[in-house]
Structures are given as structure tokens and as C-alpha cells.
Amino acid sequence: MAPILEFRSVSKVFFKGDTRIHALRNVSTEVEQGELLAIVGPSGCGKSTLLNLAAGLMEPGLGEVYYDGKPISGVNSHVSYVTQRDNLLPWRTVEDNVLLPFELKTRSRMPVGERKERAQKYIDVVGLKGFEKHYPAELSGGMRKRAQLARSLVYEPDTLLMDEPFGALDAQLRLVLQAELLKTWEGSGKTLIFVTHDLTEAISLADRVIVMSTRPGRIRIIERIELPRPRDVFSIRFLPEFGQYFERLWASLKEDMHQGADV
């Protein structure tokens, strides 16, 4: 199958005053349509930068990023992006936050009634039924994440980018949301790129895991996770094969810890 997203020899340098920050160096990889790809790596290795490039929010210094065979130029309207930060609008209810993408997409011709139906569908999918009229300040951290997820799904994007979406949540809630995410993704045919610090989360969810090296971010290894689907995130970690994946990937991540990186 043709790749939906391609990074071709991508490098990215940021400037802070006189300092050059080499965020990415010579990153090449392809993401297949319908794949769930997890990216792990030490803090500052360029994981969010990769997502920003895929979303068309920034351009590479060197190299190219292609979506569906075409170079990305400007905001990539085929993707939806759940950022690390909670960016729900505090003055809007859950429902109005979820409806926001329709207002931002100027080409959306969907009638208001249909938009509302779609919003309700995804509010139900993420388990927020009954909280439509609540404001973000009235929700727990987990519920706010659910609302962000509903907002990113409402436009039914081909590709979903998620940057440590469950990072700030407690371990139990993370598992619940991972399970729900898999349920939503499995069989959808959508591409999902998921950045996380948590190796167990990456192996539990992904078809492939990319381990990045410390700055400047490069791809250290790519591992295909051949665990069966549908997956049960609560029990999959106890499979012997899971342990083998964990050991191999951890050995790679650990090399950066020895260099003092914050994994």
C-alpha cells in the first residue's frame, strides 16, 4: 500500500537568539494508511516537531514531508491534531468546543443540524454523554482529554496526530482511555500517529514503534509489533512476546539515559 505520510531526509533547526537547536537530523520514514504508529524518545528529541511538520504547522529546514503523495504546503487539512496542551476554549461548552472544527474549516458546507448530530455521535463515543452543556472548568482532566478527542474526531479526519494525549493522567485512567482509543481506531481504516513517553503504552497500541535518539532527533530503531488484534490493553502486557518487545526497545531507549537525557 502507498504511504500516506512520508518524511524524506528531514532536518529541522530552531534558532533561539544566537543558539542553534538541531531538533531533527536526517529523519526518513513512511507511515502507511490505516497504521497506528507510536513514536517514543527522550524529552526534546523532536517528537512534537515531527507532528507539527505532518500537520503543516511548520516546514522542514532540509528534506520534504509528503502527505498522500504530495508535498505538504501550508496547514494539512487531512489531519487532526490532539496537542499536548489542553486547548479547549474555556468559554465554550463541551458541545461548542466539539463543533469548533466546523467553524474553522471554511470549506465545510455541512448543515448545522448535521454538525450537531456528528458532534453528539463523538461526544457519545468518548463517553461524555450528559456533559454536552458543561464548561471545561467543570470537567476532570480525563474528561477534558475525552472532549479534546471528540473534537479531533468530529471532522472524521483521515489521519489523527496525538501528542502525549494521556501524559498528565493517572495510570488507571490512561488504561481506560487507551482501551477506548483502540476501540475507536480498530477497523476504522484511519491512520493514527501517537507520541508518548511510555513504552508500555506504545507497544500496547501500535503496529510499529519508532524510537528516537536524543537531540538532534534521529530514528534509532523501528520495531514492528506483531501482537494480535483486537488488543486488550489491560492484559496484553503480560504476554511473553510483549516482554521481548519491551526489552529490545528499552535497550535502545536506555542508551540515551546513559547520556543524561530525560527519558
Ligand X SMILES: Nc1ncnc2c1ncn2[C@@H]1O[C@H](COP(=O)(O)OP(=O)(O)OP(=O)(O)O)[C@@H](O)[C@H]1O
Binding region for ligand X (CB under 6 A):
14, 16, 21, 23, 41, 43-49, 215
Three-state SS letters, 113-158: HHHHHHHHHHHHHCCCCCCCCCCHHHCCHHHHHHHHHHHHHCCCCC
Tell me the C-alpha to C-alpha distance, in Å, between residue 145 and each of 6, 73, 153, 255. Answer: 28, 29, 12, 32
Which of 52/93 has CB closer to ligand X? 52
Q: How far is the CB of 33 from ligand X (least distance, A)?
A: 24
Q: How far is the CB of 214 from ligand X (least distance, A)?
A: 9
Q: How far is the CB of 19 from ligand X (least distance, A)?
A: 9
Q: How far is the CB of 52 from ligand X (least distance, A)?
A: 7
Residue with the three cell numbers 480525563: 142
Which of 59/96 has CB closer to ligand X? 59
Q: How far is the CB of 222 from ligand X (least distance, A)?
A: 17
Q: How far from the centroid of its chain's Cα atoms is residue 180's Cα?
A: 15
Which of 101/216 has CB closer to ligand X? 216
Burial class for 178, CB neighbours closer than 10 Å (0-12, 13-18, 19+): buried
158, 80 contact by CB (below 8 A): no
Which of 21/251 has CB closer to ligand X? 21
Which of 41/60 has CB closer to ligand X? 41
